[in-house]
Amino acid sequence: MGRQDEDALLLEDALIESDSSLYTGDGSVDIKGQPVLKSKTGNWKACPFILGNECCERLAYFGIAINLVSYLTKTLHQGNASAATNVTTWQGTCYLTPLIGAVLADAYWGRYWTIAVFSIIYFIGMCTLTLSASVPSLKPVEFCVDAACPSATPLQYTFLFTGLYLIALGSGGIKPCVSSFGADQFDDTDPNERVKKGSFFNWFYFTINIGAFVSGTCIVWIQENKGWGLGFAIPALFMGFAIFSFFIGTPLYRFQKPGGSPITRICQVLVASFHKRNLLVPADSSLLFETTEKRSAIGGSRKIIHTDEFEFLDKAAVVSSIEQEDGNSLSSWRLCTVTQVEELKILIRMFPIWATGIVFSAVYAQMSTMFVEQGMAMDTTIGSFTLPAASLAGFDVISVILWVPVYDRIIVPLARKFMGQGRGFSELQRMGMGLFLSVFCMAAAALVEMKRLDVVKSLDLVHQNVAVPISVFWQAPQYFFLGAAEVFFFIGQLEFFYEQSPDAMRSLCSALSLLTTALGNYLSSFIMTMVTYFTVRNGKPGWIPDNLNEGHLDYFFWLLAGLSFFNMLVYVVCAKVYNSKAAS
């Protein structure tokens, strides 16, 4: 080859490299499946539509969730423990159904179409709930006669819970996909866009809390003062805006191709490794099976570098003598790539970190249950104005709204300077700080309840089911601590499960992170059930009776504080031994 030919080839390579730099390097495409130009798609130009969708959807959700316990006790005449259990069970289901949406998104539909379909289901559920609170025949009479309150009929309960659980199903397609879809707008192979992605998660959570703030103040006030029908109709309207905002940004979005069923790939690794349990894993990992292509055999995924942990699973990638002889008849149930094996290893490594989020979510669940019921037993008046107890959740939201810009604009730059990391603190460090703050949240709630019960005894109100003359604003510190804990833990958790998850399992891993919230709500219900079972004996009212003046809600809060502290210690150990993902 002559010098002139070499120069021509070098020039051609340079042109190809220059042309490829115009496109994303992470395999993302447009809605038609074509490679996308960086300058015209994704990045922050696509994010306003996604953030607008999330803000409106969260306003709709919190417009229901924040004050639902009040609706169940005041309109449906349920007891405190029963209403709290119904709310935490429903909220838990809202964070359990994302597993359905995640599998559909990763395996078949992709994140965009999963969000679109389930948003419509969500909207139908909101309309059903609005009807249940608006049509007189679909709700019980609100007024009690001689302290006897009519309970809801089976039909009324059926209509109400149909709406609620359609919302739970709809949220299952949105929650695991929307944060990952937003992060997909930033090219993972571009260092500048990777830094912006870290900032996206902060502002994503910021918009969530803007929606929650409007719900916790304006929507709750409308529900308490203008009627539940209107109070549920407005969130339904905002859900309609959420769908509109999402669709209008379609031309600007970057899409990741679905990589096939992640559950199937996990099962294939388990079956193949068991089938080859008697084979030896070669000392040289390069002898394990992997595709020779630049990208992995899994759609929408980069290759993952081999690790030495969980060697038994490596047997799935061992090429047997039979497979060497007949390379054309390779079965995915008998031979898996190293990347496929590493996907399962990543999930196993993340499991202990994932499990510690359950207790934190149990603490978070108190904001919409026992914190509200504690507030309802306090003085909620400000002059002539009566503040709904659920509105105190606004302090949590204010705390988040203050902490997000402080963290993103002040704490992160300082952490970069002193710790040398592009994102300041690592995801694991950030989550650990959130767990630490959650202990203070529950301790503050317990101290407030102790103060409230002291006033109850001093005024001889123990056997009177009345609000105690102690301002509900005493609850502010526990909400502020919870908001700060959220900023550190929940946002760190979003980043952790997106960054550490395999490329083709990001929706599934987001769903698993949300599953901790579901299990946290179920744990809260379980703890409450056990507390009721063991404390309501021999004529005693127990820790959480309908009349909180007779109970000891402070004991319940101290129990959760102790559980949070122990959980934090377990987390520290798990975080120290965690090994991060390494993509090629």
For residue range 423-453, what is the model confidence (pLDDT) as tens digits? 677 889 889 999 999 999 999 999 999 999 9
Residue 556 pLDDT > 70, yes or no? yes
Residue 395 pLDDT > 90, yes or no? no
Residue 254 pLDDT > 60, yes or no? yes
Residue 236 pLDDT > 80, yes or no? yes
Fold of 23-260: Growth Hormone; Chain: A; (1.20.1250)
The answer to whether the CB of 243 falls within 8 A of the CB of 119 is: yes
Each domain of the chain, given as residue ranges in start order, spans 23-260, 262-343, 350-583
Quote the pLDDT of residue 108.
85
pLDDT band at 21 (very low <50, low <70, confident <90, very high): low
pLDDT band at 9 (very low <50, low <70, confident <90, very high): very low
- Lowest average pLDDT, out of 295-309, 365-379, 465-479, 562-576, goes to 295-309
Distance between first and last Cα of the chain: 33
Closest CA to 556 of 446, 481, 441: 446
350-583 maps to which CATH number?
1.20.1250.20
pTM given for the model: 0.75
Q: Side chain identity at 535, as an amino acid letter?
A: T
Question: How many Cβ atoms from other residues are within 10 Å of residue 75's Cβ?
Answer: 18
The 10 Å CB-count burial string (b at 16+, else e) for 161-172 is: bebbbbbbbbbb
- The average pLDDT across 452-481 equals 88
pLDDT band at 271 (very low <50, low <70, confident <90, very high): very high
Q: What is the distance, to the nearest Å, from the Cα of residue 116 to the centroid of all Cα atoms in its chain?
A: 19
pLDDT digits (tens, 9 = 90+) for 120-145: 999 999 999 999 888 888 877 766 66
- Within 8 A by CB and 6+ apart from 349, the residues are 309, 578, 579
* More confident position, 24 or 278: 278
Beta-bridge partner residues of 583: 304
Quote the pLDDT of residue 328.
56
pLDDT digits (tens, 9 = 90+) for 515-555: 888 788 788 888 988 888 888 877 788 888 888 888 888 99
Quote the pLDDT of residue 148.
67
Closest CA to 110 of 305, 290, 250: 250
- The average pLDDT across 90-119 equals 87
CA distances from 244 to 17, 33, 365 (A): 38, 23, 30
Quote the pLDDT of residue 554.
92
pLDDT digits (tens, 9 = 90+) for 288-340: 888 877 777 777 677 888 888 888 999 999 988 777 766 556 778 888 889 89
Quote the pLDDT of residue 7.
47
Beta-bridge partner residues of 37: 23
pLDDT digits (tens, 9 = 90+) for 505-517: 888 888 888 888 8
> And the tokens for 490?
């929940």
* More confident position, 424 or 232: 232
- Do 23-260 and 350-583 show the same overall fold? yes
The answer to whether the CB of 185 falls within 8 A of the CB of 254 is: yes
Closest CA to 559 of 509, 517, 523, 516: 523
Closest CA to 489 of 383, 342, 357: 357
Closest CA to 158 of 169, 148, 166: 166
